[in-house]
Amino acid sequence: MMPARPRVPTNPASMLAACIGAALGAGCSGWQSALDPKGPRADAVAKLHWSLVTVATVVYVIVISALIFALWRGYRRPVPDQGHFHQETPEQADTMKRGVIVAVALTVIVMLAFVVTSVSVGSAVARVPGNKPLRIDVVGHQWWWEVKYPDPDTHNNFETANEIHVPVGRPVLIKMTSQDVIHSFWAPNISGKKDLIPGHETVTWFRADSAGVYRGQCAEFCGHEHAKMAFFIVAEPRLEFESWMQKQRGEAPEPPDSLTQAGQKVFLSGPCVMCHTISGTPAAATVGPNLTHLASRRTIAAGTLPNNTGNLAGWILDPQSIKPGVKMPPTQLDPSSLRALLAYLESLK
Amino acid sequence: MTRSDLRPRRVLYVGAAAIVGIATLVSCKREERRFRETPPSATAANLVTMSELQPGPAVIEAELRNPYEDNAYAVSEGKRLFDQMNCSGCHSHGGGGIGPPLTDNEWIYGSEPQNIFSTIIEGRPNGMPAFRGKLPNYQIWQLVAYVRALGGIQGKAVRTTRDDHMMYKESEQARDKGHPTPTFVPPTSVKQ
């Protein structure tokens, strides 16, 4: 990271340098960066990246030095008396030929080494580990992520959106498909990209080795709000994960007071119920994200806004100004209905 | 080759470019998307009536234009909603089942945009649910545009193309132009 300095650069050159430095620094910092690996898959890819960059840098330096040396020598050589071209002696021609052969051979060897390492890393990260992975199903939608936790006992199945909780250290097997167009699952700190294809199931896996929240992002252009299609991998110690899962399995809590009861009525009688599910209520539509435990999530609208009252109100009334093109229509509510609805949604812990 | 030899060819090129330019402009309109729709209350929903009978002197109802009639994006959004709002549950991708088919020429409650709009928003006897308050008006107009595409009574250029799943018949775009029965039959006189 760039240390903060009191002196602000003013001339264009140092400003440009500062910008490039900041961009490079940001690339290496933890937030959604492939260079700050927190799991074996991202780790293997980061190592591959650094080894390729190192070799390529060495080759680049050698080639550029040779070029500069040749230019410098040619500049110093006296201009030949006759003809336009410098004529080599047979010995010189032999030396040049040998040089070219050696350089080509070295290039071929380096490229072959690149192919071998890259293919072996690719096949190593693609191999799904056998020791009882946790299975999660992910369905891509324009522009949010449906996340399902299937269980052999179907009563324990539950659904959430845009937030994938996983236990630290346990491999996670992700089965993915898409509802509309091709999306791509990409959480750089944890796992490389894998496409979600409509009508077809793809599989990926990852393991998070340290607890934390890691941002992921759709990595295949999928329409207007592709950029606002984020998700979070929340890696927690096993016990915390188990208690989260236990909570998510439950139905939504009954509205505790008259305000939240009124809010539930607004939800069930208005347009909300056409698209969203809240388990334990008649709301069971699967067009939009499942809201059973909405208040337990960090963000709304697929990582677009922090989940708080103001943002939720703005989102419900006019989602098109926050995420233009989003499939959620604006909703007209009088202030008292809106307040009740917000109270109800915030009670869905 | 002299300068004058080039002239006819140049005219041809300029003409072709103009045609391509005009075609491009037309397609802009066809694909136009609006993110900020007027609020539901400000639209003409209240103008649509269930019956053509009026107290007092009969005034011919102004024809309500569907703002999405010539818009391919709206028609495809209508198609998405048609499945997601479970219209297919009864109308089965337009083929009919529990509800009447929407791909033939018989329109029990009228085929004009405002007729279909009021059918969706008010519901109809014998099972068609009322969507008033459940969907914003602009989405109902999108559904109207799609329902008219199903029946082939809308320009071929904006109709939707083939589905990903098995289809009941050829895609909307490939269908012949529909010839809707023009008369409005009051619900009471529908043959059972």
Contacts of A321 in chain B (CB under 8 A): 36
- Residue A2 has a pLDDT of 44
- Residue A310 has a pLDDT of 95
Q: Above 90 in pLDDT, residue B21?
A: no
**B187 CB near a chain A CB, below 8 Å?**
no
| List of E strands, chain A | 134-141, 144-149, 158-161, 163-167, 172-178, 183-187, 191-196, 202-206, 212-218, 230-236, 299-300, 305-306
Neighbours of A334 (CB within 10 A): 8
Q: What DSSP state is assigned to residue A173?
A: E
Task: Give the number of residues written for chain A.
Answer: 349
Q: Which residue has the tokens 């439950």?
A: A250
Q: Are strands A158-161 and A144-149 parallel, antiparallel or unpaired?
A: antiparallel
From the list B41, B84, B164, which residue is nearest A332 (CB)?
B41
**B15 CB near a chain A CB, below 8 Å?**
no
- B79: distance to nearest CA of chain A, Å? 13
- Residue A271 has a pLDDT of 92
Counting Cα atoms < 13 Å in the Cβ hemisphere of A33 gives 11
The model's pTM: 0.82
pLDDT tens digits along B31-42: 888 777 765 444
**Distance between first and last Cα of chain A:** 37
- Residue A6 has a pLDDT of 46
For residues A232-236, average pLDDT: 96
Q: Is residue B59 part of a domain?
A: no
Q: Are residues B22 and B112 in the same domain?
A: no
Complex-level ipTM: 0.78
In chain A, the residue whose alpha carbon lies closest to the alpha carbon of B137 is A329
Q: Enumerate the β-bridge partners of residue A222.
A: none
Stretch among A10-14, A125-129, B112-116, B155-159 having the lowest mean pLDDT: A10-14
- Residue A1 has a pLDDT of 43
Q: Are residues B15 and B106 in the same domain?
A: no
Q: Are residues A182 and A213 in the same domain?
A: yes
Q: Above 50 in pLDDT, residue B79?
A: yes
Contact A139, A178 (CB under 8 A): yes
- A345: distance to nearest CA of chain B, Å? 19
Q: Are residues A192 and A221 in the same domain?
A: yes
* Overall number of domains in chain B: 2
Q: Are residues B4 and B87 in the same domain?
A: no
Put simply, the answer to whether B35 touches A325 (Cβ < 8 Å) is: yes
In chain A, the residue whose alpha carbon lies closest to the alpha carbon of B80 is A180
Contacts of B45 in chain A (CB under 8 A): none
Of the pLDDT bands very low, low, confident and very high (cuts 50, 70, 90), residue B4 is: low
Q: Enumerate the β-bridge partners of residue A145.
A: A140
Q: What DSSP state is assigned to residue B33?
A: -
- Residue A20 has a pLDDT of 63
- Residue B40 has a pLDDT of 47
Q: Are residues B73 and B141 in the same domain?
A: yes
- What letter represents residue A334's amino acid? D
**B39 CB near a chain A CB, below 8 Å?**
yes
Task: Give the number of residues written for chain B.
Answer: 192
For residues B58-70, average pLDDT: 71
Q: Is residue A318 part of a domain?
A: yes
Q: Above 50 in pLDDT, residue B192?
A: no
Of the pLDDT bands very low, low, confident and very high (cuts 50, 70, 90), residue B189 is: very low
- Residue A345 has a pLDDT of 95
Put simply, the answer to whether A324 touches B39 (Cβ < 8 Å) is: no
- Which residue has better confidence, A281 or A19? A281
Nearest CA to B124 among B93, B96, B99?
Answer: B99
Put simply, the answer to whether B133 touches A271 (Cβ < 8 Å) is: yes
**B33 CB near a chain A CB, below 8 Å?**
yes
Contacts of A273 in chain B (CB under 8 A): 134
Q: Is residue A115 part of a domain?
A: no
Q: Is residue A333 part of a domain?
A: yes
The mean pLDDT value of chain A amounts to 89
Mutate to test the interface with B, among A146, A182, A266, A274 (most CBs of B within 10 A): A274
Contact A135, A206 (CB under 8 A): no
In chain A, the residue whose alpha carbon lies closest to the alpha carbon of B33 is A325
Q: Are residues B163 and B111 in the same domain?
A: yes
Torsion angle, CA of A113/A115/A121/A124, rounded to 10 degrees? -110
Q: Above 80 in pLDDT, residue B8?
A: no
Contact A148, A137 (CB under 8 A): yes
Nearest CA to B150 among B169, B131, B166?
Answer: B169
CATH classification at residue A340: 2.60.40.420
Put simply, the answer to whether A275 touches B134 (Cβ < 8 Å) is: no
pLDDT tens digits along A77-120: 776 666 666 677 888 889 889 989 999 999 999 999 999 999 99
Q: Is residue B38 part of a domain?
A: no
Report residue A149: phi and psi, to 5°.
Answer: -110, 95
Neighbours of B67 (CB within 10 A): 19
Distance of CA A268 to the CA centre of its chain: 34
Q: Are residues A169 and A233 in the same domain?
A: yes
Mutate to test the interface with A, among B31, B32, B36, B163 (most CBs of A within 10 A): B36
Nearest CA to A340 among A282, A287, A263, A285?
Answer: A263
Q: Above 90 in pLDDT, residue A15?
A: no
Q: Is residue A36 part of a domain?
A: no
pLDDT tens digits along A53-76: 999 999 999 999 999 998 998 888
Q: Are residues A231 and A317 in the same domain?
A: no
Q: Above 70 in pLDDT, residue A28?
A: no
**B82 CB near a chain A CB, below 8 Å?**
no
User: Which residues constitute the domain of residue B5?
Assistant: 1-30
Q: What DSSP state is assigned to residue A253?
A: P
Alpha-carbon distance of B120 to A158, in angstroms, equals 33
Q: Are residues A280 and A231 in the same domain?
A: no
Q: Are residues A149 and A242 in the same domain?
A: yes
Distance of CA A295 to the CA centre of its chain: 23
Q: Are residues A281 and A177 in the same domain?
A: no
Q: Is residue A179 part of a domain?
A: yes
Q: Which residues contact B158 (CB under 8 A, 6 or more apart)?
A: B30, B70, B71, B72, B75, B145, B149
Q: Which helix (H) or strand (E) holds B144?
A: helix B137-150
Q: Are residues A232 and A290 in the same domain?
A: no
User: Which residues constitute the domain of residue A181?
Assistant: 134-249
Put simply, the answer to whether A274 touches B35 (Cβ < 8 Å) is: no
**A321 CB near a chain B CB, below 8 Å?**
yes
Helix (H, G, I), strand (E, B) or coil at A284: strand
Stretch among A166-180, A273-287, B101-115, B135-149 having the lowest mean pLDDT: B101-115
* Overall number of domains in chain A: 2
Q: Which residue has the tokens 């080509």?
A: A104
Q: Are residues A271 and A340 in the same domain?
A: yes
Q: How many CB pairs under 8 A join A and B?
A: 36
Helix (H, G, I), strand (E, B) or coil at A286: coil
Q: Is residue A335 part of a domain?
A: yes
Tokens for A223?
Answer: 């329409």
Q: Is residue A190 part of a domain?
A: yes
- How much of chain A, in percent, has pLDDT values that exceed 90? 76
Q: Is residue A155 part of a domain?
A: yes
Q: Above 60 in pLDDT, residue B191?
A: no
Nearest CA to A34 among A140, A165, A190?
Answer: A190
Q: Are residues B93 and B185 in the same domain?
A: yes
- Residue A86 has a pLDDT of 65
Max mean pLDDT among A12-16, A93-97, A294-298, B67-71 falls in: A294-298
**B84 CB near a chain A CB, below 8 Å?**
yes
Q: Is residue B61 part of a domain?
A: no
Q: Are residues A205 and A269 in the same domain?
A: no
Q: Are residues A203 and A283 in the same domain?
A: no
Alpha-carbon distance of B70 to B110, in angstroms, equals 20
Q: Above 80 in pLDDT, residue B53?
A: no
CATH classification at residue B82: 1.10.760.10
- Alpha-carbon distances of A23 from A18, A45, A136, A340, rounded to whole Å: 9, 21, 34, 45
In chain A, the residue whose alpha carbon lies closest to the alpha carbon of B85 is A274
pLDDT tens digits along A305-320: 999 999 999 999 999 9
Q: Which residue has the tokens 């399995």?
A: A249
Q: Is residue B157 part of a domain?
A: yes
pLDDT tens digits along B88-129: 899 988 888 899 989 888 888 888 888 899 899 989 988 999
In chain A, the residue whose alpha carbon lies closest to the alpha carbon of B34 is A325
From the list A269, A273, A332, which residue is nearest B39 (CB)?
A332
For residues A258-284, average pLDDT: 94
Angle, helices A258-269 vs A335-346, to 10°: value is 100
